[in-house]
Amino acid sequence: MDTPVEKFGVDQEQDWNALSDDDFREVVRSDFEAHYPKALRYSPHRLRWAPLKLWYKRMAAKGWIAPAWPLEYGGMGLSASKLLIFLEEQERWGIARYPDHGVLMIGPLLMRYGTDEQRKRFLPPILSCDIIWCQGYSEPEAGSDLASLRTRAVLAQGGDGDRFVVNGQKTWTTLAQDATHIFLLVRTNAEAKPQAGISFLLADINTPGIRIRPIRDIAGREEFCEVFLDDVVVPRSNLVGEIDQGWTVAKSLLGFERVSLGSPKFCEYGLQMLLKIARLSGQYEDPVFRERFTALQLDVVNLADVYSIFASRLVRGEPLGADVSMLKIWSTETFQRIADLGIETAGAAAGFVGDVEFGGEEVNILGFWYKARPATVYGGSNEIQRNIIARNVLNLPSR
């Protein structure tokens, strides 16, 4: 008797890649416009999981939660062009991003480095949105210099078998208060060089010893958190890859993250906000503004073309090279230029927090500017990204 094939996710309605790009766009657009809650469109800040849960549970049930995953793992299996259309339509309709580390990071990571048991245990609940992940990378003294992390994991014997005992702290952990699980970079060999002796662990956020404290930002939001780990027990079966070889796993995951952070959708959202501000202020017809706006539009169009190249590599399961860092630089710095022009265009109205009356409408002008400010820092600062390109792509000498 043949061994049954493991099933991940739900079956797709059809072969989406067999449709023309125009037909596929129409299918996606019609679905989003018919079903996405109007009250959640174009949120000026990152929404929490609770208001988004029903929408993304619907997307999961429809099989649309993981557009870039291969069909055999429960994804939509979209080609690069179809994936870009899917993202463009999400952004065009103002669909808010949910805590998607599972789909964007852990899922692809387990497909490449995980065991069969880990894939069977974690991929289905990622696809059904029953597990929500957060990222335990940065520490108070290890942000962009991630290799200097100090969170320790000691392998202990006894009980039900091998287990790690973890102690340390993570910070700037996005929406940890909404997560059910966390993935961690931990030091398992204190004697090794900084980029060696690091391991990659998966943990239930409700494990005794894990404590979460939200961080209130300048806009008054609590998108980021500190995570404290005191004698947290993690089964060895939750180790991804080999012990002390987590840096290799982490670099792969950082590649996935930089594709996500390099998506043109952030810039496209910014352009929509900038266009709205310009029209409400009466400056849209000003030739100087139009010239600056058009230059930014062209930057975003070119970014989308380059993004599609990296997205196609992901869809084919190919490793991402160091050149993926250019996406993060390009996207985040373009987003900041768009936001800066928005503040300049809004004038005095840009000095008020929250919704303000502007051109006869209520607009949160500072919202997208706040969203753009930290973008060049998180996910590895852009200075670090430039160093990566200099060393590993351009082969420039170190000073």
Which pLDDT score is estimated for 250?
A: 81
Q: Determine which of 246-255, 285-294, 302-311 has the lowest per-residue pLDDT on average.
A: 246-255
Please tell me the predicted confidence (pLDDT) of residue 143: 63
Q: Residue 1 — pLDDT band, cuts 50, 70, 90?
A: very low
Mean of per-residue pLDDT scores for the chain:
88
CATH number at residue 166: 2.40.110.10
CA distance 66 to 73: 9
Among 213, 244, 275, give the residue marking a domain's end.
244
The residue among 199, 214, 244 that closes a domain is 244
- Residue 133, pLDDT score: 97
Verify that 297 and 328 share a domain, yes or no.
Answer: yes
Share of the chain above pLDDT 70, in %: 93
Least confident span in 95-109, 130-144, 148-162, 326-340 = 148-162
* Distance in angstroms (rounded) separating the CA atoms of residues 259 and 306: 11
pLDDT at residue 4 tops 80: no
Q: Which of 37-41, 84-88, 126-130 has the lowest mean pLDDT?
A: 84-88
> What CATH number does the domain containing 362 carry?
1.20.140.10
The pair of structure tokens assigned to 197 is 């002796």
Where does the pLDDT of residue 18 fall: very low under 50, low under 70, confident under 90, or very high at 90 and above?
Answer: very high
92 and 140 share a domain? no
User: Into how many domains does the chain fold?
Assistant: 3
pLDDT at 121: 95
161: pLDDT strictly greater than 60: no
Residue 238 shares a structural domain with residue 267 = no
Mean pLDDT of 68-75: 92
Structure letter (DSSP) for residue 380: S
Q: Is the pLDDT of residue 116 over 70?
A: yes
CB 113 within 8 A of CB 241: yes
Sign of the alpha-carbon dihedral angle for 75, 78, 84, 88: negative
Averaged pLDDT for residues 26-36: 97
Residue with tokens 């991630």: 146
Confidence of residue 196 (pLDDT cuts 50, 70, 90): confident
Structure tokens at 238: 């939750």
Look at residue 60 and tell me if it is in a domain. Answer: yes
Give Cα 329 distance to the centre of its chain: 15
Same domain, yes or no: 269 and 232: no
Kindly state whether residues 141 and 224 are assigned to the same domain. yes
3-state helix, strand, coil in the chain (%, to 5): 50, 15, 35
Strands 224-235 and 163-174: antiparallel
Can you tell me the distance from the alpha carbon of 215 to that of 179, in angstroms, rounded to the nearest whole number? 15
The whole-number average pLDDT for the span 98-118 is: 92
Average pLDDT over residues 286-305: 93
- To which residue do tokens 């002008």 refer? 365
Which two three-digit tokens encode residue 195? 């980029």
Same domain membership, residue 71 and residue 42? yes
315 pLDDT above the threshold of 70: no
Query: Does 3 have pLDDT greater than 50?
Result: no
Whether 78 is in a domain gets the answer yes
328 pLDDT exceeds 70? yes
Task: Specify if 39 maps to a domain.
Answer: yes
Regarding whether 334 and 275 lie in a shared domain, the answer is yes
Q: Tokens 């430039």 correspond to what residue? A: 386
Paired tokens of 233? 């027990």
Query: Is the predicted pLDDT of residue 19 greater than 90, yes or no?
Result: yes
pLDDT at position 180 is 98
Same domain, 297 and 365: yes
Supply the DSSP string of 40-95, one letter for each residue: GTT-SSPPPHHHHHHHHHHHHHHT-S-TTS-GGGTS----HHHHHHHHHHHHHTTP
Domain holding 39, by residue range, is 16-98
Would you name the residues annotated as active-site residues? Answer: 257
Over residues 222-274, the pLDDT tens digits come to 889 999 999 999 999 999 999 998 888 887 776 666 677 778 878 888 898 89
| 43: nearest Cα among 355, 396, 314 | 355
- Residue 322 falls inside a structural domain: yes
Question: Higher-confidence residue: 391 or 116?
Answer: 116
User: Residue 122 domain-assigned?
Assistant: no
Q: Are 44 and 354 in contact (CB under 8 A)?
A: no
The residue-averaged pLDDT of 141-170 equals 81
Residue 237 shares a structural domain with residue 272: no
pLDDT tens for residues 208-219? 999 999 999 877
123 in any annotated domain? no
pLDDT at 146 over 80: no
Residues 338, 344: Cα–Cα separation, whole Å: 10
Query: Is residue 255 assigned to a domain?
Result: no
pLDDT for the residue 2:
41
207 plus 145 within the same structural domain: yes
Looking at 98, 121, 143, the residue that finishes a domain is 98
pLDDT exceeds 60 at position 160: no
